[in-house]
Structures are given as structure tokens and as C-alpha cells.
Amino acid sequence: MQQQTKIFQAMEKPDFYPHNVSTIEQRETHISKVFLTGDYAYKIKKAINLEFLDFTTLEKRRHFCAQEVILNRRLTHDVYLDVVTISLKDGRYSLEGAGRPVEYAVKMRQLPEDCSMKSLLRKGKIDKKALENLSRTLEKFYGQAHTGEQINTFGAWETVWANCEENFRQAEMSVGKILDVQMFQIIRSATRSFLHRKKELFQHRIETEKIRDCHGDLRTGHIYFSDGIQIIDCIEFNERFRYADITSDLAFLAMDLDIEGYPQIAQDLLNFYVQFTNDRDVFTLINFYKCYRAFVRVKVTCFRLQEGNLGEQESGLLLREIHQHMEFAYRYALQFTRPTLWVVCGMPASGKSTIANALAEAFCINVLHSDVIRKKIFDLKPNESIDMPFEEGIYSKGASSLTYGKILLMAQEEIEKGSSVILDATYSSRHQRIEVIRLAQDIGSNIIFVECVSSEATLKERLRKRDTTAGISDARLYHFDKFKTRFEPLDEIHAVMHIRVDTGKPLKECMRQILSKDYALL
């Protein structure tokens, strides 16, 4: 380390470099030091050994410099130029000169700071086209990134569980001193609950090859809109930090955007990515992984604060960073752990059941179909067809009240178990909708109405087909006009809990719209 100090002193002087240098700027992290010379940047790895990396020998630093060049060329072009030697001869250090090699540096083309995403965001210069291009870049990168049996282990449920538990265990010494006790307990409890409920989803991610050799440190300060899109500074020193679910990698950037004050930008970016890849699981996992990423930052910053040897100003900055990331981790935990009451409603033949079943598959939760529950109440088989006039027999007002009351009781049971649930019913009256809103308020769940709509011609055509195709619903074309007259618009449903989807569009597009809006609402 003493020799590195002398090398750093030499690198502060323009005559150290074999090219013209007018000014030299320095950037420093706890693991590296970068010298900006105008045209080129030189990055030195500090001779340190931390729990997650070991740069203590010259050969190790040379190896990881080479790894940094190789790995970062995946998301850049003409930026990572080479690994260069720093030599010592006659007591003088030189770059790429004669003498004994004493250090290695990554030589990079210096990118203009005003082209970084962080800088452009502050100037209001990141538009939807830029986000679309960034999403395309990430889609291509993840699609080509390595995967396989070894990499998959890092996305396995057991590994994710162990990583989360390690975070909580290592942070416990700060609880009650730096970290709020209640917030810590809620984040830990929510994380454990999510992992228990979604165990199958993590296996599904492996089976669909969503665990990849990712970037590992994807944030606004590492993305440049210069000569296309350049994404620098991936993690090269520890595969554990780079091998992950794609959503975990995206979550780092989404969290960074949230904390910087650009949640809408984060949402738009994720919308584009899901649109391009059809990877709808992203919306189910994103808040979990954002919470995980935020809490990692909390833990690491607590370590830095407890190391000591900090000035009052630096300690204050670190404390603010800890509290900010803790607050966001807490918010994310509330979002992914609080059960949601989904009300999929609309006119008969509007595609409610199709949407409800697709949501059930996406979230691995149950659907309560009103047609099935109604017939069960009256000892009928689900597919037993009933040709009955409008609002008579099992469809009378009294029978419908009984059916909707039963749905509410069943929904309450699901929510009280900690599970979200989907209600598939017409919900044509304001009274019925107000009742389900009241239930959500009483039991403290989220509630989202998904109103399925389609053109009148499409609705009638779907109803007409029911004359020859058996199904659970008994609604027919001759009921249509009365259904239309009795259906009360969802005017009382506030926009923060209302998603209107045109089921005349492909199911894939409908689901992308619903899940995207759901992520934004929650």
C-alpha cells in the first residue's frame, strides 16, 4: 500500500503520462482510484483484502484488470482499451515505460461527464426514446449473457434466501443504534414471507433461463449516452455479485432512479423492457429485488460508518444515505408484502375470466369466479347450462346478493392468510363495488379494479358463440341490452385503483398494460 501511495503521487503529475495532459482529476472509491487526464482515464485497484475481494498481490490486480476490460467490453465499444503497466526504473515511476512492473491500470477512453445518465436526468434530457434505446441495449445484453448450471445456482431460491438472511444477520449489530428497530423487523418479515410464498417462481426463473452473467452495478452514474449507449464499471471482482436474476440487475437501476427522484423514468424503462421481452415476471419481482438492493446499500454503508476515522461531515452524509436507503427498502417491502384484492369486472363476454386466469398465473394466486360460486351455492355443476330470463332464478337479485356476499367472505379468508386474491365477477352496480372497497379498507389490503371493455360488436359476437360452445357463464346475446342498461359506470372508482383494459387487443398486450399499471399504482 505504501508503494501505491507513491504511484498515486506520481500519477498526479502530467509528465507521468506518455501523451499530452493539461489537467488531472481524481475519483476514489473504497476499492479503486481513477485518474482522469482528458482523453484517457486510468483505474488502479487498491492493494486491499475485503470479505468480497482480494487485490493484495500484483498478480491478482493484473488478473482483475484484465477481467474488467473483458467484461466491460460487453456493454461498451472503444472505451476499455487495454491493461497497461506501471514500471519503476532508477527510482522513477512511468506508464508503459522501461523498468520493473510494479502496478497495472485499466486504460479507458474518458467519456464526457455531461453525457452520463445522471447528468442528463438533472438537465431533463432523458426522453422516452432514450429509455427505449437503453431498454433495447439491456434486452440484447441479457439475451446474450452467459447462463448455465453454475450461474443458475445464484438465482436459486436457497441462494436468494441465504443472501437475504446474511444481510439481516450482518446488519443486526446496527439495529437500535443506527437502524430503526420496527422498520428492520418489517423488512425482514416481509422478505421472508415473500420468499416462502413465491418459492416456485424462483425455480421458474431458472427454467426460463432468466439467471445470467449480468452487470452487477447498474446505475445512472455508469450509463453514458455517448456514441450510442455505453455502460461501464460492471462487477469484475466477484461472480456472486454479477450472477443473478435479470430482474435483480434491473432493480439496481430502478432503485437508483427512485432515490434520485425519477420514479416515472424507472417505470417507463421497465415498461419498455417488458414490452420487448414479454418477461412479465419482472413486475412481480422488481420491488422484492429493489428492497434487497436498497438493504445491501444500508448494510455496506453501516460498515463504512462503523469503521471510524471519518470527519463529522462525512459521517453525516453516510448517516443520511443509510436512512434514505432504509426508507426506500421499507417502502418496497410494504409494496410487495401487502396483499392485493384484484376485482376483474365488466360486461358479460368482456374477457374477465381470461384476464383473471392470466393474473392468477402471473402472481400464483387464487381466482374466485362468480359463475362457479353461484352454481355451487345452488348445488349445480359449473358447466351445467341454465337458460333463464334476465335476473330470475339463480340470477335473481336475492341470489346475486347471496353470491356476491359469499365471494366477499372467501376473499376475506384469502387476504387474512396473507395471500392476494382475484375476484372475477361483473360488479355492475356501485353498491357491489363499494362493498368490496369497504372490505379492502377493513382488512388493510390494496385493491385494484381491472375493468374489461370491448366494442359492442365484439361483445355481441362473443355472446353469439356461446349458443354453440359450452361454458360456465349463462349470459347470452338476448340478455345483452338489459345488461348494458343495468351496468353502472365505474365513476366512483378513483384512478389510483382503476385499470381499464381493452380486451379486443392480444392477451399479451393486455397483461403488459395491467402489470405495468399495477406496478405504478402500488
Contact predicate 36/24, CB 8 Å: yes
The mean pLDDT of 481-489, rounded to a whole number, is: 92
> What's the pLDDT score for residue 363?
84
Strand 40-45 versus strand 366-369 pairing type: unpaired
The pLDDT tens digits of the residues spanning 359-394 come to 998 888 999 999 999 999 998 887 777 777 777 778
Strand 223-224 versus strand 230-231 pairing type: antiparallel
- Candidates 3.40.50.2020, 3.20.20.370, 3.40.190.10, 3.40.50.300; CATH matching 340-521: 3.40.50.300
**Lowest mean per-residue pLDDT among 170-179, 191-200, 373-382, 475-484:** 475-484
Q: What is the CATH number of domain 117-337?
A: 3.90.1200.10
Higher pLDDT, 476 or 508: 508
- Give yes or no for residue 521 having a pLDDT over 80: no
- Give yes or no for residue 309 having a pLDDT over 90: no
Residue 287 cell numbers, joined: 420491488
Question: Helix, strand, coil shares of the chain as percentages rounded to 5?
Answer: 55, 15, 30
- Give yes or no for residue 229 having a pLDDT over 80: yes
How confident is residue 522, by pLDDT bands cut at 50, 70 and 90? low
The mean pLDDT of 129-134, rounded to a whole number, is: 98
Nearest to 155 by CA among 219, 217, 218, 201: 201
Sketch the domain layout of the chain as residue ranges. Answer: 2-110, 117-337, 340-521
- Give yes or no for residue 336 having a pLDDT over 70: yes
Give the CA angle between residues 257, 132, 260 to the nearest 5°.
10
Computed over every residue of the chain, the mean pLDDT equals 93
The pLDDT tens digits of the residues spanning 33-87 come to 999 999 999 999 999 998 788 999 999 999 999 999 999 999 999 999 999 999 9
Alpha carbon 458 to chain centroid, angstroms? 36
> What's the pLDDT score for residue 100?
95
Nearest to 21 by CA among 39, 33, 34, 7: 39
> What's the pLDDT score for residue 116?
98
How confident is residue 19, by pLDDT bands cut at 50, 70 and 90? very high
- Give yes or no for residue 155 having a pLDDT over 70: yes
* Spatial distance between the Cα atoms of 169 and 469, rounded to a whole number of angstroms: 58
The backbone torsions φ and ψ at residue 230, rounded to the nearest 5 degrees and listed phi first, read -120, 125
What residue type is assigned to position 403 of the chain? T
- Give yes or no for residue 470 having a pLDDT over 80: no
Residue 181 cell numbers, joined: 428497530
Task: Assess if CATH 2.40.160 describes domain 2-110.
Answer: no
Four-point Cα dihedral 17, 18, 23, 28, nearest 10: -40
The mean pLDDT of 476-498, rounded to a whole number, is: 90
Concatenate the DSSP letters of all residues of 446-463 into one string. EEEEEEEE--HHHHHHHH
